[in-house]
């Protein structure tokens, strides 16, 4: 990616000041369901004692660098097999489910069994419209919401991931590896679904996340790189090609 903007002082350059990351939804359909990402912060902690963990600079620094995405749906899903032994998802709530059965497959899918990492651990994917973008080199890491306590633990683990979001803006999904498929997968709307962490030049630079416009240039660029995972095995090998066709600016903060 070529940056042609000239700056009078070094501190005005693209690697100075806070790292600005934009977030947006890839579609306006059902947008009211999806809350903005929130900076992780454990509220209502004890801060009266000078040595309280709630006042520890290291704890505060760590929490400030993670952003939380909340679950948009109430789901209670079981795993089973049909009469022919084919793996399938079971909507345990049936007619009482907030998500209609005929719509469930649009948001939650069972990965083809041949693609599971382990033969006894089904993999499911929750499809989401969240996408992040930046105009400087920024890596995004998606990981479990480890700082939030779940009264009912999930029967497995999520797939994390790390990639340069400035070159590869794509909608995130929540991928889950079902270690105990005999136990149901229960997700609650509003609960933390996963965290994202951002890394750029200079580990001391703070991160600011702003809502971004879904501009025509951004939509076109995403179309140019979308779906390639269906045709090649190593999408990271396409990064240089993506960089060559990337517009100079993709992040336009949304006006309010």
pLDDT, position 94: 83
Question: How far does Cα 7 stand from its chain's mean position?
Answer: 33
Q: Kindly tell me if the per-residue pLDDT of 57 is higher than 70.
A: yes
Residue 224: predicted pLDDT: 87
pLDDT tens sequence across 105-151: 899 999 999 999 999 999 999 999 999 999 999 999 999 999 898 99
Q: Are 75 and 176 in contact (CB under 8 A)?
A: no
- Write the DSSP assignment of 28-92 as a string of letters: -TTGGG-PPPEE----S---SSTT-GGG-HHHHHHHHTEEEEE--S-EEEEEEE-TT--EEEEET
How far is Cα of residue 101 from the mean position of the Cα atoms in its chain? 25
Kindly indicate the confidence band of residue 237, based on its pLDDT and cuts at 50, 70 and 90: low
How confident is the model over 202-230, as pLDDT tens digits?
A: 888 899 999 999 999 999 999 888 865 55
Q: Are strands 173-178 and 156-158 parallel, antiparallel or unpaired?
A: antiparallel
In what order do the strands lie in the sheet containing 139-143? 38-39, 66-70, 192-199, 139-143, 161-164
In sequence order, what are the beta bridge partners of 209?
21
Mention every residue, 6+ apart, whose C-beta is less than 8 A from residue 136: 14, 15, 19, 166, 200, 201
Amino acid 123: pLDDT: 97
Paired residues of 10 in beta bridges: none
- Give me the residues paired with residue 158 across strands: 176
CATH, domain 19-44+54-245, list 2.40.10.10, 1.20.1050.10, 2.70.40.10, 3.40.630.10: 2.70.40.10
Residue 48 or residue 127, greater confidence: 127
Contact 90, 78 (CB under 8 A): yes
Give Cα 255 to chain centroid, integer Å. 23
Q: What whole-number distance in Å separates Cα of residue 242 and Cα of residue 60?
A: 36
| pLDDT at residue 9 greater than cutoff 90 | no
Contacts of 225 (CB under 8 A, 6+ apart): 168, 169, 170, 238, 242
Residue 3 has pLDDT above 60, yes or no: no
Residue 242 token pair? 């993506």
The answer on pLDDT for 152 being more than 70 is yes
In the structure encoding, which two tokens stand for residue 223, read together?
């179309």
Cβ neighbours of residue 41 closer than 8 Å, sequence gap 6 or more:
63, 64
Higher pLDDT, 225 or 2: 225
The 3 state secondary structure assigned to 181-218 is CCCCEEECCCCEEEEEEEECCCCCCCEEEEEECCCHHH
């Amino acid at each position: 990616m070529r940056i042609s903007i000239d700056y009078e002082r070094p501190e005005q350059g693209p690697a100075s000041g806070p790292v600005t990351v934009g977030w947006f939804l890839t579609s306006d359909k059902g947008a009211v369901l999806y809350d903005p990402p929130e900076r992780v912060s454990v509220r209502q902690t004890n801060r009266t004692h000078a040595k309280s963990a709630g006042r520890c600079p290291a704890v505060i620094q760590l929490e400030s660098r993670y952003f939380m995405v909340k679950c948009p749906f109430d789901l209670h899903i079981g795993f089973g097999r049909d009469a022919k032994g084919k793996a399938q998802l079971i909507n345990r709530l049936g007619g009482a489910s907030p998500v209609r059965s005929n719509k469930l497959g649009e948001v939650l899918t069972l990965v083809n069994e041949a693609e599971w990492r382990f033969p006894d651990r089904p993999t499911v994917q929750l499809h989401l419209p969240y996408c992040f973008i930046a105009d400087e080199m920024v890596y995004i890491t998606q990981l479990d919401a480890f700082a939030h306590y779940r009264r009912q633990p999930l029967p497995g683990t999520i797939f994390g991931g790390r990639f340069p979001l400035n070159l590869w803006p794509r909608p995130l999904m929540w991928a889950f590896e079902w270690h105990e498929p005999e136990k149901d997968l229960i997700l609650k709307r509003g609960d933390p679904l996963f965290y994202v962490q951002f890394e750029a030049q200079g580990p001391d630079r703070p991160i600011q996340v702003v809502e971004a416009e879904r501009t025509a240039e951004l939509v076109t660029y995403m179309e140019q790189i979308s779906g390639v995972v269906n045709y090649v095995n190593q999408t990271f090998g396409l990064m240089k090609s993506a960089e060559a066709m990337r517009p100079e600016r993709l992040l336009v903060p949304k006006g309010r």
